[in-house]
Chains A and B, each alone.
Chain A
Amino acid sequence: MTDQADQSRRNFLYVAAGGLGAVAAGAAVVPFVASMLPAADTLAASKTEFDVGTVAAGQLVVIQWQGKPVFVTNRTPEFLKEVDGHDDMLKDPDSRHIPEVSAAWMDTPEKRKYRSIKPEYLVVVASCTHLGCIPLYKPTAGRKDWGDSVPENWPGGWHCPCHGSLYDISARVIKGSPAPDNLHLMPYKYLTETKVLIG
């Protein structure tokens, strides 16, 4: 064997060993990174069943879904009326800015307005889209119940105590709020007349 051939054989073996070593190291990284992703039991807890029938008319309940707070409100006919008449005050009245505020079932203008499968039961993620605080529920219109924490033409909805973001009764963000978007929706469906599966 000549020196030349020797050298190329050696180089080939170096490259082969280095390449295989890199593959081994790369493969070894996979289980470690994967182990940091949510575990099977965490994923199993990623769906929540809830009976909206337990929410009394006009009331709000905060439940947990994937460790996040979720608002479920039972809107009375009076509250449902508050949805109309202030589209000019809203940043995104039709919920089209980003995918998170919309859903596949929003196929009619009515549903876009109420932002819920059944008009009376609104189910939204309870984190203010500004920096994640939980807004306060102030459903009645005007300042009568809320003092000057809300503007004079308050249509009724939510007020975030952290930085003053305002949302209407369909959780759509009102202009002038630091929050950029309407409160997010999450996938949910009705299993029975009142039982919803969230997630």
Chain B
Amino acid sequence: MNLKRFYSILVVAAFVLPSMASASEEGVELKHANINVADKEQINRGLDVFTNICMGCHSAKYVTYKDLMDYPEIGISREKVDQLRNDKPLTAGLITDLSPEDATVSYGKVPPDLSVIANARRGGANYIYSVLTGFEHDPNGKIPDGNYNKYFPGNRIAMPDPLGYLDHDPAETANLEKQAQDVAAFLTFISDPHQNQRRAIGVYVMGFLLVLTLVLYLLKREVWKDVKH
């Protein structure tokens, strides 16, 4: 009937259009990163990759050394934090020692802060994982080795191959991909550090609302018995 048709149009529109929109976005298809933002071990391995490699140039200024102890998904010890931070205060963010001026001289630009990078790039963890393992020889031979990345928009990337993926020993492939996924898990976690808590609370909220809505439905039906059609 009228109303049903009206609803069906809106429902179809609401579900079909967003998927059409995302399907129409250009670029190569990203690799799927196998990550779990509730996996403490993976996040900790990712933290090691981050502090050992990424932090040479990148910062994550919204994450403090104290957060590394306090977030249950990371939860490293005070001793390890003291090792990482040297003489920096506990409340300082994870900030690289590379100054923005030096970075500009070396790479032509300041490397972006990675605190919210998983939210700031289409594809999130998949994008991070793909770019880290996307260093190849340019098939057209135009972009020099180390600057060509299959997954980076425009393919020319200023970041030098951080994991040494280009021309790596094939025996190392699994290890490098694991590192890339681990750091993708870490970065996805810190982009929204309360996400696990959020989902956990959400389950209870949804359960409660289902009961509430059911009771309201029964009440509505009961009260409307008075009305003769």
Contact = CB atoms under 8 A, between A and B. Distances in A.
CB atoms of A and B under 8 A apart anywhere in the complex? yes
A24 B206 CA distance: 12
Nearest to B212: A20
B91 A9 contact: no
Contacts of B219: 10, 13-14, 16-17
Interface string A11-35: 0011011001101100100000000
B215 A20 contact: yes
A8 to B, nearest CB: 11
Contact of A16 (B66, B209, B215): B215
Nearest to B65: A44
Nearest to A49: B89
B216 A17 contact: yes
A41 B91 contact: yes
B212 A10 contact: no
A98 interface: no
A21 B222 contact: no
A9 B222 contact: yes
B70 interface: yes
Interface string B186-229: 00000000000000000000001101100110110011010000
Contacts of A133: none
Interface in A38-79: 40-41, 44-45
B64 A20 contact: no
Contact of B215 (A6, A17, A40): A17
B208 A24 contact: yes
A21 B212 contact: yes
Interface string B157-194: 00000000000000000000000000000000000000
A9 B212 CA distance: 16
A102 B36 CA distance: 50
A13 B222 contact: yes
Nearest to A41: B91
Contacts of B209: 24
Interface in B105-135: none
B81 to A, nearest CB: 13
Residue in A16, A24, A45 with the greatest tally of chain B CB atoms within 10 Å: A16
A29 B97 CA distance: 43
A50 to B, nearest CB: 13
Contacts of A9: 222
B215 A13 contact: yes
Interface of B: 64, 66, 70, 90-91, 208-209, 211-212, 215-216, 218-219, 222-223, 225
25 contacts: A6-B222, A10-B219, A10-B222, A10-B223, A13-B215, A13-B218, A13-B222, A14-B219, A16-B219, A17-B212, A17-B216, A20-B208, A20-B212, A20-B215, A21-B212, A23-B208, A24-B208, A24-B209, A24-B212, A40-B70, A41-B91, A44-B64, A44-B66, A44-B91, A45-B91
Given A17-B212, A20-B211, A21-B212, 14 more contacts: A9-B222, A10-B222, A10-B223, A13-B215, A13-B218, A13-B219, A13-B222, A16-B215, A20-B215, A24-B209, A27-B208, A40-B70, A44-B64, A45-B91
